[in-house]
């Protein structure tokens, strides 16, 4: 098929003396859904944060839609317009209403008119099943609702790619389901996605490919059927046995 939309080539990243990424290579094709998993501190969050340059890399190359992120601020701007991101801590703007959270970027950075942006906000709030919360403030919502607003906020930029950085880790167990449901619906819609998660159920249901990271290296890369039934590396087995126990 065509060129990958995300190409990560031999990327190294250090935080002081700690090596977060150690020669990671990863290609994502258009429409592909990747789940990145691994023990904590394995560098999986750093990897997705590098893809839209929230973190810089020390060596190696990352291109998104053939744009090299190292080219400078303009390239980063261009990439960020097509890449949406959802954070573990939601990072909604607490001083703005839900609707204002959704409209801010479309108006300010895409240059949409206020009314078009509002229309769009309404549409995506419906997609995440909370159209009635538009006038509320983020802190008045439950965690699950907040995360769905965050997803809608990213979608309002109509990105071609979505990055998820542990979207359910900060949620109470009973809220996880509603957020996973929304993510699964998105996956069904054909969005290109890279998702860091511990939710193996989600991985099994929607991933085209699972990437297992440990100590900054890609240990294993396989479709879910293979990954769960016939893991090749010992470390993967160990990880799976620990995480599937409960």
Partner 1 sequence: MLIAGAVWLLGNIFDNLADRGIASGFGFLRSTAGFGISTSLIEFSEASSIGRAFWVGLLNTLLVSAIGIVLSTILGFAIGIARFSSNWLLARLAVIYVETIRNIPLLLQIFFWYFAVLRSLPGPRQSHELGGLFFLNNRGFYTPSLSLDAGGVAILFSVILLAVLAILKRGQKRVVKLCAFLASGLFIFVAVGAEFSLPELKGFNFSGGMVLSPELVALVIALSTYTTAFIAEIVRAGILSVPRGQIEAASTLSLPYRDQMRFVVLPQALRVIVPLLTNQYLNLTKNSSLAAAIAFPDLVSVFAGTVLNITGQAIEIIGITMAVYLTISLSIAFAMNVFNRNTALRGTSP
**Shortest distance, position 132 Cβ to partner 1, whole Å:** 16
Residue (77 or 132) nearer to partner 1, CB: 77
Residue (14 or 137) nearer to partner 1, CB: 137
First to last CA, the chain: 39
**Shortest distance, position 82 Cβ to partner 1, whole Å:** 9
Residue (139 or 244) nearer to partner 1, CB: 139
**Shortest distance, position 73 Cβ to partner 1, whole Å:** 9
Could you tell me the CA-to-CA distances from 201 to 13, 134, 145, 197, 243 in Å, in that order?
Answer: 30, 30, 21, 10, 11
Residue (34 or 218) nearer to partner 1, CB: 34
**Shortest distance, position 133 Cβ to partner 1, whole Å:** 11
Residue (106 or 231) nearer to partner 1, CB: 106
Phi/psi of residue 7, nearest 5 degrees: -125, 115
**Distance from C-alpha of 138 to C-alpha of 150, rounded to nearest angstrom:** 10
The three state secondary structure string of 106-151 is HHHCCCCCHHHHHHHHHHHHHHCCCHHHCCCCHHHCCHHHHHHHHH
Judge whether 61 and 9 are in contact, CB under 8 Å: yes
Q: What six digits make up the tokens of 72?
A: 């400078």
**Shortest distance, position 236 Cβ to partner 1, whole Å:** 30
Residue (108 or 242) nearer to partner 1, CB: 108
Query: Is residue 73 exposed (0-12), middle (13-18) or buried (19+ Cβ within 10 Å)?
Result: exposed
Could you tell me the CA-to-CA distances from 1 to 32, 33, 151, 207 in Å, in that order?
Answer: 12, 16, 29, 19
Binding site for partner 1 (CB under 8 A): 52, 54, 77, 80-81, 83-85, 87, 89, 91-96, 104-105, 108-109, 114, 136-141, 150, 153-154, 157
Helix (H/G/I), strand (E/B), else coil: 52: coil
Residue (73 or 229) nearer to partner 1, CB: 73
Beta bridge partners of 21: 13
**Shortest distance, position 81 Cβ to partner 1, whole Å:** 5
**Shortest distance, position 226 Cβ to partner 1, whole Å:** 32
């Amino acid at each position: 098929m065509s060129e990958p939309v995300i190409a990560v080539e031999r990327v190294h990243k250090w935080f002081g003396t700690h090596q977060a990424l150690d020669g990671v290579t990863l290609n994502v094709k258009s429409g592909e859904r990747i789940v990145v998993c691994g023990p904590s501190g394995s560098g999986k969050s750093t990897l997705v944060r590098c893809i839209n340059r929230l973190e810089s890399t020390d060596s190696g190359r990352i291109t998104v839609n053939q744009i090299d992120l190292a080219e400078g601020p303009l390239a980063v701007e261009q990439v960020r317009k097509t890449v949406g991101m959802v954070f573990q801590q939601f990072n909604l703007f607490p001083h703005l209403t839900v609707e204002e959270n959704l409209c801010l970027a479309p108006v300010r950075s895409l240059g949409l008119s206020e009314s078009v942006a509002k229309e769009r906000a309404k549409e995506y709030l419906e997609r995440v099943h909370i159209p009635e919360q538009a006038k509320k403030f983020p802190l008045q919502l439950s965690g699950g609702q907040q995360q769905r607003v965050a997803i809608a906020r990213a979608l309002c930029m109509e990105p071609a790619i979505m990055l998820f950085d542990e979207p359910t880790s900060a949620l109470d167990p009973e809220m996880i389901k509603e957020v996973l449901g929304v993510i699964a619906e998105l996956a069904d819609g054909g969005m290109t996605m890279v998702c860091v998660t511990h939710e193996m159920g989600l991985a099994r249901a929607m991933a085209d490919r699972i990437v297992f990271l440990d100590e900054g290296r890609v240990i294993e890369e396989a479709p879910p059927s293979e990954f769960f039934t016939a893991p090749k590396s010992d470390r993967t087995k160990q990880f799976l046995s620990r995480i599937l126990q409960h």
